[in-house]
A and B are shown apart, each in its own frame.
Chain A
């Protein structure tokens, strides 16, 4: 039923003929359009409201933020002239009016940056973004940046200085602070700040060229189904190769692969596309048709452990669980060695990686010894018991419907069982797991999920004891395991304020050593994004960081 049908005497004969007449042959056209498949739909197109991967990928074609991390993970200017540093004088340490240590950071906008309606991008656009961000009723996420940036200065239309009431080594990368078209959205915002989020031109008039300052502009939106991008006539940078880029949303991964194989989409974005094992299987079959690149990104797959569970509060048990998992074997057999085993949450390509720290090995003997030492002795059914006769059992959870994670979880369950640990799998739909079980700390054992971060991102929210979610704090914070270590807290507080990279390095090493030893979470690997693009396309550079590859679309060329 699966193979090609060549026998004309099939019962389909007549139908087949009719269908063949319907089918129009794909004529050889000049390649001036590119169709990209994406596995997630977008909601709002406003850059500052909600963060979604699909949105950031699409906006990469159509907007230029102030700064980004390049494919080599160095911070660079995309909308500014030079990246602010202490050395070039654009970052200056100073004292705030109320006597606290602070700093001022200056960005100079690129001269040729224009909105799609021809108006130049100016300091006023950044002033609007800053004011809207600081007006908390507007409802931008990440208010901390705006709270900290207490003063906006602009001496000329292209120069902008922000004053911060605290010191931070990464102040130069402006994060989500990027120009918003004041000439379009400021009147809307001023008319009704509370409802700006539903009235912004980004959602009411998405195809207005004046909203876009990248190589492309959004020319049409099919909600939930896709976006059509066309060249931005006002773009003054290098011209992109394609007249039009179609983004197609196909949420079902088998359907996504089918559309690629049927030639309806040319490429699949690695940022949000096929699962890794699916891509590996596809590459085995159609190596010649497509090009594949696997980029291990800043997506750290790990098992958060509930540290106040009496079983898991013993670090020896956590270490034994770590030693019992044969990560190299999993990575080899399920993922074709495409993603590196993680030593800690810090990515091997991160500038602050401590290369001396090696990942925990697979060592069943040491795991057994540690469990014995912790008082868990082998029981009659192969599951270990403590002195009180309690069996060593744990809940093991991940997002239901994510087949790759479900698969991994079953392998880990088997490996733990071999070590005498019983794991009960209780997967939940993502919104239940993330919206309640993890965020309100209702999980009891281990939960498999991923954190996405940026290069040299201080993991305060996941490791500081102040970030343990509680009802009193509205469940804010992401320290779901409940890790609390004064030394770690001190490190996390001191790190951002140390502006000298050389002095930060030993602090980062200590941070990695602590998580490596204490294991509040079991590191698995850094997830690789499988990028699939056609043989005739050159110049796509997957970044593996939060800056999507689409930011460099002007480098994409037809071979």
Chain B
């Protein structure tokens, strides 16, 4: 259980920091998005505890506001993937036959494709073509969440399908079904409890994956657009000047590593918790 606690503690800390971002910025007296050309790439000081970036913006404030975006991307992408995957998996298990075959071949196909070039392809599409307005951090977050969910649901779908099939095959469930117990009740009483545990594990892993994926998209110039900050785009922006200002790259890198490690510890802790009840 120590892993679970440690993981939760890290995530809680990061979430608190993200929530506190406006107050910290106000306390420091800085605006994370407004450039100050007179204070470019300054070192740590009382006014800027972690220094400033290539446009003179406070790195700490940007890191904290970036936490909001990055954690939101991670959480939303995980929720979306889990929701889609759960629905697809249950549908496949319930209906069987051609529905099952179709969904699972779709899943196979998505797993067989190299994800990154296709993420790039989707990210390069015009958001207006998908009915999203252009610009704005919220649109960017939605766009990235959507893209990650398109690939993320597959794992969850397979997992929930397997779990649902094994539950539905149990004698008492088959008996209940034969007796005409409503499907909703069946789902609530028998399938849901069996799924809860593996889904929380998969969900926390998805959070970790989405945070890493956001940084990769940013590296390719397809992530959250400036001036809004995310850990991924801070890291990507620091890259060009990494030899002269390495610290600007160090902080967001560490933040990403901490968040991913936190989510993975949670997943790990949950999994071990299930194995030895």
Contact = CB atoms under 8 A, between A and B. Distances in A.
- The answer to whether any beta carbons of A and B sit under 8 Å apart in the complex is yes
Interface stretch (B21-29, B30-38, B258-266): B30-38
A281 B40 CA distance: 12
Contacts of A485: none
A435 B136 CA distance: 22
Contact of A334 (B37, B123, B126, B135): B37
Interface in B231-249: 236-237, 239-246
A432 B134 contact: no
Given A395-B134, A401-B220, A424-B136, A281 B244 contact: yes
Interface stretch (B44-52, B108-116, B221-229): B221-229
A426 B134 CA distance: 6
Contacts of A257: 243
A407 B241 CA distance: 13
A403 interface: yes
Interface stretch (A170-178, A196-204, A410-418): A410-418
A39 to B, nearest CB: 12
B135 A285 contact: no
A359 B110 CA distance: 55
Interface string B48-60: 0000001100000
A333 B241 contact: no
Contacts of B240: 253-254, 275, 277-278, 403
A414 B34 contact: yes
A429 B54 contact: no
A3 B237 CA distance: 22
Contacts of A1: 250
Contacts of B35: 410-411, 414
A400 B37 contact: no
B175 interface: no
B243 A261 contact: yes
Given A257-B243, A429-B124, A411 B55 contact: yes
A329 interface: yes
A281 B240 CA distance: 10
A432 B38 CA distance: 34
Contacts of A253: 239-240
A285 B54 contact: no
A413 B227 contact: yes
A284 B40 CA distance: 15
A282 interface: yes
Given A258-B243, A281-B243, A409-B226, A333 B135 contact: no
Given A407-B55, A425-B225, A432-B124, A282 B37 contact: no
A411 B227 CA distance: 10
Contacts, number: 83
A195 B221 CA distance: 36
Contact of A426 (B40, B125, B135): B135
A278 B222 contact: no
A527 to B, nearest CB: 16
Interface in A246-300: 253-254, 257-258, 261, 275, 277-278, 281-282, 284-285
Interface in A493-513: none
A431 interface: yes
A284 B37 contact: no
A432 B129 CA distance: 12
Interface residues of A, number: 39
A261 B244 CA distance: 12
Interface in B119-162: 123-126, 134-136
Contact of A277 (B33, B136, B241, B246): B241
B244 A333 contact: no
A400 B221 contact: yes
Contacts of A401: 220-222
Nearest to A252: B239
A542 B226 CA distance: 33
A285 B243 CA distance: 9
A224 to B, nearest CB: 15
A344 B125 CA distance: 34
Nearest to A410: B227
A457 interface: no
A1 B242 CA distance: 13
A212 B34 CA distance: 53
A23 interface: no
A436 B227 contact: no
B244 A284 contact: yes
A424 B135 contact: yes
A333 B243 contact: no
Contact of A2 (B227, B236, B246): B246
Interface in A324-340: 329-330, 333-334
A425 B227 contact: yes
Contacts of A403: 236-237, 240
Contacts of B239: 253-254
A427 interface: yes
Contact of A282 (B124, B126, B244): B244
A427 B136 CA distance: 10
Contact of B126 (A254, A413, A436): A436
B36 to A, nearest CB: 9
Contacts of A329: 37
A448 to B, nearest CB: 13
Contacts of A277: 54, 240-241
B226 A425 contact: yes
B226 A427 contact: yes
Nearest to A415: B35
A428 interface: yes
A511 to B, nearest CB: 33
A117 interface: no
Contacts of B250: 1
Contacts of A285: 243-244
Contacts of B241: 277-278, 281
B225 A426 contact: yes
Given A284-B244, A330-B37, A410 B226 contact: yes
Given A2-B246, A334-B37, A411-B55, A406 B226 contact: yes
A425 B136 CA distance: 7
Contact of B243 (A282, A334, A395, A402): A282
A401 B237 CA distance: 9
The winner among B40, B225, B245 for most chain A CB atoms within 10 A is B225
Given A253-B240, A278-B240, A425-B227, 16 more contacts: A254-B240, A257-B243, A261-B243, A275-B240, A277-B54, A282-B243, A333-B37, A334-B40, A400-B221, A403-B237, A407-B55, A410-B55, A410-B227, A424-B136, A425-B135, A428-B126
Kindly list the 8 A-B residue pairs having the minimum CB-CB distance in the complex, ordered from nearest: A401-B221, A426-B135, A281-B244, A333-B37, A426-B134, A424-B135, A429-B124, A410-B227
22 contacts: A2-B246, A253-B239, A254-B243, A258-B243, A277-B54, A281-B245, A282-B244, A329-B37, A330-B37, A395-B134, A401-B220, A401-B221, A406-B237, A407-B55, A410-B33, A410-B226, A411-B37, A425-B135, A425-B225, A427-B226, A429-B221, A432-B124
